[in-house]
Amino acid sequence: MMLVVLCLFLLFSTCHSRSLPHLQRPDPDCDYNITQIIQSKGYPCEEHKVITNDGYILGVFRIPHGRNSSSTGRPVLLQHGLLDSATTWVMNFPDQSLGYILADAGYDVWLGNMRGNYYSRAHIKYNPDHDEAFWDFSWDEMAKDDLPSMIYYILNVTKYEQIGYIGHSQGTMIAFAEFSRPDSVVRNNVSFYGSLAPVAHVGHIESPLKYLASATIMKDLELYWHILFGRNEFLPSSYIIKWLGTFACGEFIIDRVVCDNIFFILFGPEKKNLNETRIPVYASHVPDGTSVKNMIHFAQGVQTNAFQAYDYGSPEKNQLHYNQTTPPQYSIRSMKVPTAIFSGGEDWLADPSDVNYIIDNIQSLVYKKYIPNYNHIDFIWALTASQLVYVDLLDVMKKYHPPN
Known catalytic residues are 169, 347, 376
Instruction: Give, as one character, the DSSP assignment of residue 385.
Output: H
DSSP-assigned letters across all residues of 55-79: SBEEEEEEE-S-TT------EEEEE
Within 8 A by CB and 6+ apart from 395, the residues are none
Within 8 A by CB and 6+ apart from 337, the residues are 165, 179, 187, 190, 191, 192, 193, 364
- Give long-range contacts, CB 8 A cutoff, 24+ apart: 208-215: 208/265, 208/266, 209/266, 209/298, 209/299, 209/302, 209/349, 210/302, 212/295, 212/299, 213/298, 213/299, 213/300, 213/302, 213/303, 215/303
DSSP, collapsed to helix, strand or coil, labels residue 102 as helix
